[in-house]
């Protein structure tokens, strides 16, 4: 394998690196930064209308080349190009159950830029599956104990913060309400502003606009979950016992008041809580509470985008 430098104008202090993705029978060399990849026009054109159109353009006489292959310089980082090319040459790449968020991010960025439609849709499906637009889908992701851990996206420290950043920067708006909420319930107020340690020496941080949205969303959700008609708005209702049929008025009122004050002081996120058995209310109040809780959770979900300064679900479209 030749180690001669490509015939292109380079700064004398720049060392060209040949990537492991180097097919001897390739017909084009992509260069990202100082890293080169030898691949096939046919493979690029098969998956991307951008490269399909570029392949048909006449080459200028001074086109740089390497081993007879034209060099196409990209403005992308080499890591993004590496991830995408590996997927293009490996038909089983997306058969894996979980893929890391950095790899997904590479496919989103280059998929949008170069119209790699199929791989873009594949990674978007993973993001939207993990950050759904319906309450039923959100609930379906919970484990038996009510907790959640990503399954189609490889779980990692800072994943929720990084998901928000990726979705907002690439206009994947439908993902944002759930992603913002996941940041709130998994991060302390300090982490929202200072970031989340990824455990590898780097920190996942939110932009100023995302910090503001999370801060405003925190206050709005903690208040709204207790409003009449919402998740636990019924806790503070003072309906006469003869109308509710409560079996133990004094005990139920005391338990409701204790629940309310305890969780207000703790700042608990209960917007989508689905269990009230721990309140130990009487049979009548429990049944009434479950009904109101179900309807209140639905209402809170409909309001979720607005808590983060976003349009309602019906107007929240991905701009890809």
Contacts of 109 (CB under 8 A, 6+ apart): 76, 80, 170
Query: E strand or H helix at 32, and its extent?
Result: strand 28-32
Q: What is the pLDDT of residue 83?
A: 97
Is pLDDT at 54 greater than 60 in this prediction? yes
Render pLDDT for 211-238 as a digit per residue (tens, 0 to 9).
Answer: 999 999 999 999 999 999 999 999 988 8
Please tell me the number of Cα atoms within 13 Å of 17 on its side-chain side. 10
Residue 140 lies in a domain: no
In whole angstroms, what is the distance from residue 196 CA to residue 292 CA? 36
From 99, 122, 145, the end of a domain falls on 122
pLDDT tens digits along 241-300: 777 889 999 999 999 999 999 999 999 999 999 888 889 999 999 999 999 999 999 999
**Residue 314 is encoded by which pair of tokens?**
């019906």
Average pLDDT over residues 145-159: 90
Instruction: Find tokens 């708005």 and name the residue.
Output: 233
pLDDT score recorded for residue 154: 94
Domain range enclosing 248: 224-307
CA distance to 120, 142, 290, per residue, from 300 (Å) = 31, 18, 15
Tens of pLDDT, residues 176-186 = 999 999 999 99
Averaged pLDDT for residues 188-208 = 95
Q: Helix 283-307 to helix 208-224 angle, to the nearest 10 degrees?
A: 160
Laid out side by side, the sheet with 69-74 consists of 17-22, 35-39, 28-32, 69-74, 65-66
pTM of this prediction?
0.89
pLDDT, position 38: 98
Q: Please, how many CA atoms are within 13 Å of residue 84, restricted to the half-sphere of its CB?
A: 30
Mean pLDDT of all residues in 84-107: 95
Residue 6: the pLDDT is: 39
pLDDT value for 40: 97
Helix axes 78-89, 117-130, angle to 10 degrees: 100
Q: Which of 122, 146, 178 is the last residue of a domain?
A: 122
CATH of residue 95's domain is: 3.30.710.10
Confidence of residue 12 (pLDDT cuts 50, 70, 90): low
Choosing from 122, 140, 174, the residue where a domain stops is 122
pLDDT in tens, 20-48: 999 999 999 999 999 999 999 999 999 99
Q: How far apart are the first and last CA of the chain?
A: 40
User: What are 5's two structure tokens?
Assistant: 């430098």
Average pLDDT of the segment spanning 157-162: 96
Instruction: Indicate if the pLDDT at residue 117 is higher than 70.
Output: yes
- Residue 74 belongs to some domain of the structure: yes
pLDDT, residue 67, reads 92
Q: C-alpha angle with apex 262: 256 to 263, nearest 5 degrees?
A: 95
Higher pLDDT, 2 or 241: 241
SS3 content of the chain, % helix, strand, coil (to 5): 50, 10, 35
DSSP class of residue 199?
S
Mean per-residue pLDDT for 182-203? 95
Q: What is the count of structural domains for the chain?
A: 2
Whether the CA torsion 145, 149, 150, 151 is positive or negative: it is: negative
pLDDT at 276: 85
Residues 6+ apart with CB under 8 A from 60: none
Length of the chain: 320
**What is the reported pLDDT for 143?**
83
The Cα 70–Cα 193 span in angstroms is 47
Closest CA to 105 of 191, 170, 187: 170
């Amino acid at each position: 394998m030749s180690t001669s430098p490509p015939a292109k104008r380079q700064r004398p202090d720049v060392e060209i690196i040949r990537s492991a993705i180097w097919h001897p029978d390739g017909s084009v060399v992509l260069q990202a930064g100082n890293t080169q990849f030898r691949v096939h026009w046919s493979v690029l054109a098969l998956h991307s209308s951008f490269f399909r159109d570029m392949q048909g353009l006449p080459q200028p006489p001074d086109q740089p080349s390497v081993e007879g292959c034209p060099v196409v310089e990209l403005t992308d980082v080499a890591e993004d190009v590496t991830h995408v090319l590996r997927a293009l040459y490996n038909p089983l790449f997306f058969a894996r159950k979980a893929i890391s968020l950095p790899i997904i991010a590479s496919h989103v960025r280059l998929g949008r830029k170069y119209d790699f439609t199929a791989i873009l849709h594949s990674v978007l499906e993973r993001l939207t599956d993990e950050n759904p637009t319906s309450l039923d889908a959100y609930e379906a992701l919970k484990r038996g104990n009510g907790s959640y851990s990503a399954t189609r996206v490889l779980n990692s420290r800072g994943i929720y913060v990084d998901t928000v950043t990726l979705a907002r920067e690439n206009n994947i708006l439908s993902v944002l309400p759930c992603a913002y909420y996941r940041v709130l319930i998994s991060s302390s107020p300090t982490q929202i502003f200072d970031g989340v340690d990824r455990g590898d020496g780097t920190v996942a941080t939110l932009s100023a606009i995302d910090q503001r949205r999370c801060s405003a969303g925190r206050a709005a959700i903690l208040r709204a979950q207790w409003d009449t008609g919402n998740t636990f708005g019924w806790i503070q209702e003072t309906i006469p016992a003869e109308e509710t049929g409560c079996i133990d008025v004094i005990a139920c009122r005391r338990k409701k008041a204790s629940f309310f004050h305890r969780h207000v002081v703790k700042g608990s996120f209960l917007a989508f809580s689905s269990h009230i058995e721990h309140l130990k209310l009487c049979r009548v109040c429990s049944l009434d509470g479950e009904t109101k809780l179900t309807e209140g959770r639905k209402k809170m979900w409909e309001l979720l985008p607005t808590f983060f300064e976003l349009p309602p679900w019906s107007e929240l479209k991905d701009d890809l």
